[in-house]
Amino acid sequence: MRPATSFRVPFHVAIQFIMTWCFYQSDALGVNWGVQASHPLSPSIVVKLLRSNGISKVKLFDSNSSVLNALKNSGIEVMVGIPNDLLSGLTNPSKAVSWVQNNIIPYMSSNSVDIRYVGVGNEPFLKSYNGSYLDLTYPALENIQSALNAAGYGSKIKATVPMNADVIQSNGPPSTATFRPDISVLMTQIVQFLSQNGAPYTINIYPFISLHDDPNFPVDYAFFDGSENSVVDGAFTYKNVFDASFDSLIASLAAAGPYGNMNVIVGEIGWPTDGDVNANMDYAKKFNQGFINHVLSNTGTPRRPNQPINYYLFSLIDEDQKSIQPGNFERHWGIFEYDGTSKYALSLTGVNGQALIQASGVKYLTTEWCIYNPDGGDQSKLGDSITYACENSDCTALGFGCSCNPHLDAAGNASYAFNQYFQRFDQASGTCAFNGLGQVVTNNPSKGSCEFMIQIAESAAIGSEYSIGCSVAWSRLWQSLALVFAFIFSHPPWLS
């Protein structure tokens, strides 16, 4: 008879198992809360909105003090973000210590804000950044985690890097996926560091972008109700692109080393409601409700069956000052409108669950709108007026296939642009002038799905780490449209 042998589990494996088990108990509903808005809601109103809808986790894009103060004693778990433009400074260990001292310790020392993660950068390895952050992200990640450890919070707060799915390369099914060759060594270093520190890998997954970027992408494969375009990968069958994308990451982690069981957070996932032909209320509701139901079923993915998925919906509220360089849809990801009004019937607790509860206590400007006056002013100035209005507000709803496109004629387009500017600048005196072409009215000019807004009064004074302004491409587009509008109004068909 062979003598009994003891089974020794390496210490680091045991720790990893325990942390993985604990991680997978935390599958509560999370959302991204961005503040790139001209009139952001008061953080206190947003926190009440989160709690009334049972949202218990938020992912932030910076360390804004007014937002973090509003989250005190809320019971909401927080991921604090570090914008990409701060990464360079954080390669200096002392500056990383200062950042933690200024942005984490004041909220943790009183146990009032439940900070769990620090997101170091935001999709820093996007190909469109041309390698700007390749040499900065890993040192910043190391230094932030070291600073958290030194402050005594390293066991509770983990530094991670929210990555876009384009760090993965695959020319076939998910099992063939690996990290991009140009960053594979760097990605392996980062993954190893995350694993050693018990931190999760964070990935942003956007089926909408797959559909937007590829005209041949099968629409039904973006959703969760079955697809005629399923992908068979050995023993696994993929019926939607989310599962395939998630498992492509799992395959990439396994190819990089012993990381196939690593903790994973879906940092961003959602569907926009405007700004593109595929960005609409119906698709957004179908995708978000389908995803929530998929997560609540705990079926997991083919490579991780029956495991909860930790995620943050993107996003909570529309942001009218986000860059539209990627597309006009960027300002329309919210499940709530700019004022905390729910956009569509969405149950965060699954099929037949409670619908969204909208924000309360929101105050608005006077009930009046600015529209185009065809009988006033110098009509030759119309094009310039429209361009000016749209460059200084948000006219993304006017594009082809967008919410206002089927409902407005040329005069309506001008009115919408004028009103966006008028509301953006708080209905102030002179903001409906437009060379005598604007007029203030008290009858709502909204038509169909095209909503002429009334802006929030007393908007919160929330700073942003991000640059604000229209992209060059958007500016040129409106210059072209302005010429079209000017021609139409110089030859008005309704007067012929």
Domain co-membership, 308 together with 373: no
In a domain, 431, yes or no: yes
Cβ-contact 116, 77 below 8 angstroms: yes
Ramachandran category for residue 42: left, alpha or beta (phi over 0 → left; psi -120 to 50 → alpha) = beta
Residue 126 domain flag = yes
Residue 222 maps to which CATH number?
A: 3.20.20.80
Residue 179 resides in a domain: yes
Instruction: Tell me if residue 6 falls in helix, strand or coil.
Output: coil
- Of 274, 306, 331, the last residue of a domain is 331
The pLDDT, as a whole number, for residue 14 is 40
Dihedral pair phi/psi, residue 90, rounded to 5° = -80, 0
Please tell me the predicted confidence (pLDDT) of residue 76.
97
**What is the CB-side half-sphere exposure of residue 1 using CA atoms within 13 A?**
2
Domain closes at, from 331, 352, 383: 331
Same domain, 254 and 142: yes
Same domain membership, residue 210 and residue 156: yes
> What total of structural domains would you count in the chain?
2
Q: Which range marks the domain in which residue 285 is found?
A: 11-331
Q: Do 308 and 378 share a domain, yes or no?
A: no
Instruction: Give domain status of residue 352, yes or no.
Output: no
111 and 239 in a single domain? The answer is yes
Cis check: omega of the bond before 315, within 30 degrees of 0: yes
CA–CA gap between residue 58 and residue 43 (Å, rounded): 12
β-sheet bridge partners, residue 371: 439
In a domain, 202, yes or no: yes
Residues 287 and 392 in one domain: no
Q: From CA 411, how far away is CA 402, in angstroms rounded?
A: 17
Among candidate residues 283, 308, 331, the one where a domain is terminated: 331
Q: Which residues are catalytic?
A: 123, 268
Q: What sign does the CA torsion over 465, 288, 402, 434 have?
A: negative
Q: How many CA atoms lie within 13 A of 464 on its CB side?
A: 18
> In 10 A of CB 2, how many CB atoms?
4
The answer to whether residues 381 and 327 belong to one domain is no
Residue-level pLDDT, tens digit, the chain, 496 residues: 333 333 343 444 343 433 333 334 345 799 999 999 999 999 999 999 999 999 999 999 999 999 999 999 999 999 999 999 999 999 999 999 999 999 999 999 888 999 999 999 999 999 999 999 999 999 999 999 999 999 999 999 999 999 999 999 988 999 999 999 999 999 999 999 999 999 999 999 999 999 999 989 999 999 999 888 899 999 999 999 999 999 999 999 999 999 999 999 999 999 999 999 999 999 999 999 999 999 999 999 999 999 999 999 999 999 999 999 999 999 999 999 999 999 999 999 887 788 999 999 999 999 999 999 999 889 999 999 999 999 999 999 999 999 999 999 999 999 999 999 999 999 999 999 999 999 999 999 999 999 999 999 977 777 544 332 333 334 334 444 444 444 444 444 333 3
Instruction: For residue 155, count CB atoms less than 10 angstroms from its CB and return exposed for 0-12, middle for 13-18, buried for 19 or more.
Output: exposed
Judge if 296 and 396 occupy the same domain: no
**Residue 357 placed within a domain:** no
Please tell me the distance from the alpha carbon of residue 303 to that of residue 170, in angstroms, as a whole number: 16
Distance CA 429, CA 451 (A): 23
Do 378 and 317 share a structural domain? no
Say if residue 173 is in the same domain as residue 45.
yes
Determine how β-strand 304-305 pairs with β-strand 300-301: antiparallel
Q: Are residues 276 and 414 both part of a single domain?
A: no
Degrees, nearest 5: CA angle 315-64-329: 25
Task: Name which of 94, 95, 113 is nearest 104 in CA terms.
Answer: 113
Residues 6+ apart with CB under 8 A from 319: 34, 35, 36, 37, 331, 333, 334, 338
Number of H helices, E strands in the chain: 14, 17
CA–CA separation, 309 and 374 (whole Å): 55
**pLDDT (0 to 100) of residue 487:** 41
Asked if the structure places residue 340 within a domain, the reply is no
* Residue 388 belongs to a domain: yes
* 39 and 92 inside one domain: yes
Amino acid letter, 181:
P
